[in-house]
Structure formats: C-alpha cells, structure tokens
A and B are shown apart, each in its own frame.
Chain A
C-alpha cells in the first residue's frame, strides 16, 4: 500500500520535474523499481523501446537543434542529445509506474464502476460472455476445420461463421428456457 502511494508520487514527479533537476531524481527512481520488482524494467530491452531510444539518442542530435559538437566527424546537437537522455529516463520511470499501478487495480472495483456508470446490463453480459466461451471455442474449431476452403471469399466465410454462432446462441437460449419450464 505504501509502495502504491510512493509510486504515485514518483509518477507525478516524473511529469513535472524540470530537466536540470532530473539527474537527481530519475536514477534513484529507476533503482527503486529495480529493487521493488526487476520485471517492471523488462521493457527496457524490448525492440520497440530500443527503437525509440535510437531515434532519441542518435537521430535527434543528428537532425534537430543547433549543431555544436563534433563526434567522429559528424556534427551533432548537444541540446538534442541531452533532451533524448531526459526523454529516455522519463519513459524508464513513467512506464514501470503505470505498469505497477495498473497491476494493483482490482477487477471487482472495475466491474462495479462499469455497472455504476450506467452501462446497460453489464453484469449479465459479463456472466453470459464467460458461459459462452466453451461453446464458442468448440464451434470455432469445428467451423475452421470444415470450412477452411471458404476463406477465398472472406465476406461469405465471416458471414457463415457469425450466422452459426448466432444460431447456436439462440438455440442455447431456447434450450435453457425449456429446462427452466421443466
């Protein structure tokens, strides 16, 4: 619980901290996440994250800002480079903060929220959706085995599939009513 409040503070700070003070904040925040749960920093090695880091640290100083430094014969912008480092560190703190906070969301509270904000029949739809899953799985497997060749005509393929599912749901409805009547 204390961790949760602490992470909210870290998250807000990451948003508002000026660049000149960030050096005193971001490394400690990242260390905090490392000791809290190493998995929270797993995204640092993901290709999508590394691609953006590449853009921020290499392309940004190369293409934007005033070129004031020379590195390996290439003119670069120091402003662009420091800006890239700041953005990278910010993401390294904001992403695990959101990740941790989203983990601690209670599903039941979420369900209550949806019901409260007036989403029509949310609870019934939720329960029935879970009940339909096994039937859906069975019908999908059956359809894709028998009608695989129909995929040449995608509209017909999808329409037949949806029609089977709707028919199954309706017959399930009739059967459950008959059971109730008995």
Chain B
C-alpha cells in the first residue's frame, strides 16, 4: 500500500514537471519566438536543463525524465499549430540525454554539470543538423570556408575555423554546466524549504 502511494505521488510529481515544462515552452517559447531574438533555442534549453535537474532530484526513478520530456513534447505538438516537429524532437532528445546521464551515474552536482553541458551542446548540434537536412550537408563547408577566409583577411596563420568552433563549443559547455549547477542548487534549496515547512 505504502509502495503504491509513493509511486502514485511520484507520478503526480512527474506530471507536475511535465506541465511546468510545457507551460514554459508555450509561454516563454511563444514570447521568444514572437520577439525574434537570436539564440531562442539556447535560452529555452537552459531553462529545460534547470527543470530536468530539479525534477530528477524529486522523482529519482529510472525513466522519470524521459516520461517528462515525452509528455511535454506531445503536449507542445498538440497545443501549437504549424511546424512543430523540430522542437518536438529537440525536447525529446534533451530528456533522453538527461535520462541517460542520471541513470548511468547517480544524481550529484557533477552529473548535473555534465548533463547541462551535453544537453546545451546538443542544442548547437541540433540546429546544425537541421540546417544540414534542409540545405544539404555541404552548408558546413560553406560556413567553414567563409570563417577561414575571414581569418586569412585578418592575417591569421592557419585555419581560424578550428579556433572559432572550439570557442563556440567551449562557451556552450560552460553555459550548460552553469545551468546544470543552477538546477542542482535550486533543487537543494527547494528540499531545504520543504523540510523547514513540511506539509
């Protein structure tokens, strides 16, 4: 009976995080989309990383994050009209990365940082993959060619694209790690608040 109670409360909490993620995607996502500001996907992924990290602290059973992300992806697909298969896929994969990291290793500050880094790195790769699918994979050569040409104009010896790409990847890894740390810290503080004032 007790075991069933715990399981039911876990499902409820899992549903809470799904609903919260969906609400964020629908509200902040719509605002960002309308504002047309750059890095909209990155901003939404940072929020998703925080949410995934916090959720795993409260629903620490295998499959919880993938359940949260698949429900969020489906709800987003239902709610918004038009071309939504790209964010659907992105949300699902973000959950999948979180699930793999937190299932293979235990939930800790370090795994939160790793999960954050890898998830945000995926966002960068995701947009590049989609551009490759739409325009052809030759688009990467175009980007690298343009960057290298600019490097040569700036009298840089060698191919500057290696440096630029490495810096972009490093920036995404660091930003993702920060989001993971923020999520971990928030989860810790939330637990303290709940212990201070239990229901």
In the complex, the number of residue pairs spanning A and B with C-beta atoms less than 8 Å apart equals: 171
Cβ contact within 8 Å between B134 and A136 = no
Distance (whole angstroms) from the CB of A122 to the closest CB of chain B: 6
Contact between chains at A170 and B142 (CB < 8 Å) = no
CB distance B146 to A55 under 8 Å? yes
Say what secondary structure dominates the interface of chain B: helix
A83 nearest in chain B by CB position: B138
What residue of chain A has the Cβ atom nearest to residue B134's Cβ?
A: A91
In the bound complex, what is the Cα–Cα distance between A87 and B141 (angstroms)? 12
Q: What separation, in Å, do the CA atoms of A84 and B22 have in the docked complex? A: 38
A99–B133 Cα distance when bound, in Å, is 13
Size band of the A side of the interface?
A: 35 or more
- Enumerate 25 A-B pairs (CB-CB under 8 Å) in ascending A order: A47-B36, A52-B131, A60-B146, A63-B145, A63-B149, A64-B142, A64-B146, A90-B135, A98-B83, A98-B133, A102-B85, A105-B77, A107-B77, A120-B67, A125-B15, A126-B75, A129-B16, A155-B185, A159-B189, A162-B190, A163-B190, A167-B194, A169-B12, A170-B9, A170-B199
Give chain A's interface residues, CB within 8 Å of chain B: 43, 47, 52, 55-56, 59-60, 63-64, 83-84, 86-88, 90-91, 94-95, 98-99, 102-103, 105, 107, 110-111, 114, 119-122, 124-133, 136-137, 140, 154-156, 158-160, 162-163, 165-167, 169-174
